[in-house]
Structure 1
Amino acid sequence: MGACVSRPKGWAMGLSKKKKNGGHRQKRIIRRRVSSSNKSTNPQHQGSMDSAWFDCTSVMDSERGDEEFYSVYDDVVSLNGSESALQRTREGGGDESDRMQGLAVVQNNCLPCIPSSSPPAVENKLSFRKRLGPSRLSFKWREGHAAAAAAAPADPTLVSPRAVVRRPIAGSTIPYCPMGKRMADCWSPLEPNTFKVRGKNYLRDKKKELAPNCAAYYPFGVDIFLSQRKIDHIARFVELPVVNVDGDVPSILVVNVQIPLYPISMFQSEHDGEGMNLVMYFKLSESYSKDLPSHFRDSLTKFINDEVERVRGFPVDTIAPFRERLKILGRIVNMDELSKLNLNTAERKLMNACNEKPVLSRPQHEFYLGENYFEIDLDLHRFSYVSRKGIESFHERMKLSILDFGLTIQGNKAEELPEHILCCVRLDELDYNNRYHLGT
């Protein structure tokens, strides 16, 4: 390939002054020839640069720190292995043939041509990178990045300088503990009949009863992931098991509870930031069609298919999504143990008032339907200020608490009662510290 480096005036004259100026003068001459590539205006060589030297992945590689910066000069030396002759030229040693060979290394390897509109050579490598932009030069990668580039996809938007992390297996971060045993930082299955729900005659007597001892979904794993921003549709980033169950509803239910970890402010305009994702995985009951009544199965089908219903109101009726009936059931099992801690009066009243009190998840929820799963995202970032303050004060007490969590679909008509449990699980003294960061 022909030379694309222009020759400034007096370039040969500088070579004839070896004895007078010494090695330092020769070193500056070589570097000036490298920077003189900015002045190349030959359109033929400019076109060859676009096809041979344009490196789309250097955009991602430029995110590394200055200590990993590799100059263009190093790339040129590494192209044909003629470093020894060039090194002798830089040091001012060697004969005339060595110096000419060293210059030929720089010239014949055709430094990357910079358009004439680009700024002149700069004083340091940091400003050089900022002015020219990473996409115009091909920087040298470390050995690890070269191996990753070979296996990377062709699409440059999918290339990342960070190592590609394999998707975590669902339920791999929190261990399982059999029901009846006490072990910290684990999860356990829970009997559905431990929750109180609307009974058969609730519309007349307003009394709640223990739920039937059958649920639509049963737990098989729990995860906690930390993230700088809340993660929606988290099922995309985990490896779910393959479950083949024929039916009208998905075989896997994923519940993603998004909990904020940043300080809460009353006048907060953005409801996002650092937090944790408490993810619970449930599998469809094998006796789903046998144990659950038809009215609950019909309600679940409407819920998943996002159907709407007419709601009586004043002065006119309204149309509401069926998913707005989703109701959260939660309670602290070891309330007496936590009461012995150093709780102030407001915290104690808040915990007693909210314990075992069901709450509709609307409108702080989102739903995602996959190939064989259905995901429910409960966004606690958008809860009221009082609720978020209570969650903030509960962060450090979470590793001392035994929590029972459940979901149900609220029954508003006599033919939709009694309510049944959609899913439930027990969380024993979970510790979110030092957990896996997902999506960062």
Structure 2
Amino acid sequence: MSDWKQSTINGGSLKHVPLETGSNGWASPPGNLFNLRDKNYFTKKTKSPSSAAYLLHPVGVDWLKSGSKLDHVLSRADNRIIHALKDSDNKKTFVLAVNLQVPGRDQHSAVFYFATDEVIPANSLLYRFINGDDSFRNSRFKMVNRIVKGPWLVRTAVGGYSACLLGKALNCHYYRGENYLEIDVDIGSSKIATAILHLALGCVNSVTIDMGFVVEAVEEEELPERLLGAVRICQMEMSSATVVSATGGVKGVTPGGVSSSRVADDCDADK
């Protein structure tokens, strides 16, 4: 593993912890814990545990707190991932950041960073997603969740395993930089999602959840589905968030489009 990745994995307010025993941190769950569309999905509607490696390697998680919603975190002057990337010798590195924006009296962001040092094939689904328009991205960006540990109430509200097309269920903003794509997911754009999230946050220090991100396959040649990447959040403490200034960013790429719809229509339909 390159030095810049090692430093970002072990940095940040949420530390990298052991998969089975860690707490107040994050880990990388194996892909076979997630059931994704397999090569027979369009003929037999079958799903299988994902045995393939992630398309992008997890390189860090930030848990941030601010007085206002944090948009386009990769454009911020204080973003540690961008600083590490600039110091890297590998100029082919590409970063995908998923910024889950958590509404509340204090605004929080859970930001998951994934990266590859390899050139992304021009004919691949991942390449099309990175360089496509927002309509294409919204129709394909999917999150799959597993509750590993948690109170009965949270398991009931969230479900043991669920899938959601985030680009259709919530407002998503896409920021395309020279060597990155950031996806800001506004959880506050849905009353249902906000209510479920606040329920989970009320007992977050007893919840462990696996979150995987996928570009949904809708054509035969796009099968089997593969995880962009996945993280396990292990019994996080709300107070562990790094406090950042709402004005700490710098001018960067303007957002693309926004998509919104009802959560109930686009989540849990593809478990």
In the superposition, the TM-score normalised over structure 1's length comes to 0.48
How far apart are residue 381 of structure 1 and its match?
A: 1.0
Deviations for 1:4-47, whole angstroms, at most 9, x for unmatched residues? xxxxxxxxxxxxxxxxxxxxxxxxxxxxxxxxxxxxxxxxxxxx
Provide Cα deviations, 1:380-408, integer angstroms capped at 9, x if missing partner.
1112x222211111112111111111100
2-side partners of 1:412 and 1:176: how far apart? 34
| Residue 369 (structure 1) aligned to one of 156, 165, 176 | 176
* Conservation of the 8 A alpha-carbon contact between 2:63 and 2:240: no
* Bigger share in helix: 1
String of CA shifts for 1:44-65, please: whole Å, max 9, x gaps.
xxxxxxxxxxxxxxxxxxxxxx
* 1:284 has 2:116 as partner: yes
Compute the RMSD of aligned alpha carbons.
2.4
1:239 aligned residue: 80
Cα 1:189–1:284, aligned 2, differ >3 Å: closer, same or farther? same
Identity among equivalent pairs (%): 26
Deviation (angstroms), 1:377: 1.1
Q: Secondary structure, in 3 states, of the residue corresponding to 1:362?
A: helix
Q: Which amino acid aligns with 1:239?
A: R
Q: Which residue of 1 aligns with 2:156?
A: 349
What do the CA deviations read for 1:246-295 (whole angstroms, capped 9, x no partner)?
65xx5222111101124xxxxxxxxxxx3210011222166x77xxxx79
Corresponding position of 1:179: 19
In the TM superposition, residue 373 of structure 1 has moved relative to its aligned partner by: 2.2
Show the counterpart of 2:202.
396
Matches within 5 A, 1:14-413: 171-180=11-20, 182-237=21-76, 238-240=79-81, 241-242=84-85, 243-245=88-90, 251-262=94-105, 274-284=106-116, 298-307=124-133, 320-335=135-150, 338-339=151-152, 343=153, 349-352=156-159, 355-363=160-168, 364-383=171-190, 385-413=191-219
Counterpart residue type for residue 223 of structure 1: D
- Contact 2:138–2:166, Cα closer than 8 Å, also in 1: no
Q: Is residue 303–residue 323 contact of structure 1 (8 Å, CA) maintained in 2?
A: no
**Structure 2: unaligned runs, 5 residues or longer:** 1-7, 247-271
Which residue of 2 is the match for residue 69 of structure 1?
none
AA aligned opposite 1:283? A
Alpha carbons of structure 1 residues 285 and 397: separation in structure 2 relative to 1, 3 Å: farther
Would the aligned equivalents of 1:259 and 1:277 in 2 still touch at CA under 8 Å? yes
> Using the alignment, how far apart are the partners of 2:132 and 2:126 within structure 1?
10
Task: From the CA coordinates, give the structure whose radius of gyration is larger.
Answer: 1
Provide, for residues 106-135 of structure 1, a one-character-per-residue CA deviation record: whole Å limited to 9, x for no partner. xxxxxxxxxxxxxxxxxxxxxxxxxxxxxx
Structure 2 letter corresponding to 1:277: S
CA–CA distance in 2 between the matches of 1:432 and 1:398? 8
| Structure 1 residue identity aligned to 2:158 | M
Structure 1 Cα separation of the partners of residues 102 and 137 of structure 2: 25
Runs of 4+ in 1 over 4 A off after TM superposition: 244-247
Change over 3 Å in CA distance of 1:391–1:211 after alignment to 2: same
Q: What is residue 124 of structure 1 aligned with on the other side?
A: none
What amino acid is the match of 1:427?
A: I
CA contact (8 A) 1:196 1:209 kept: yes
The residue that corresponds to 1:422 in the other structure is: 228
Q: Which has the higher contact order (CA 8 A, sep 6+)?
A: 2
Q: Give distance in 2, aligned partners of 1:411 and 1:348.
A: 27
- Residue 239 of structure 2 aligns with an amino acid whose one-letter code is N
- The verdict on how the C-alpha distance between 1:419 and 1:245 changes in structure 2, with shifts beyond 3 A counting, is farther
Q: For structure 1, which runs of at least 5 residues remain unmatched after alignment?
A: 1-168, 263-273, 309-319
Q: Which secondary structure does the structure 2 equivalent of 1:357 belong to?
A: strand
1:438 correspondence with 2:244: yes
Question: What secondary structure, in the 3-state scheme, does the structure 2 residue paired with 1:204 have?
Answer: helix
Q: Is the 8 A contact 2:172 2:184 kept in 1?
A: yes
Q: Using the alignment, how far apart are the partners of 1:239 and 1:386 within structure 2?
A: 33
Contact 1:306 1:322 in 2 (8 A): yes
Report the AA paired with residue 164 of structure 2: V
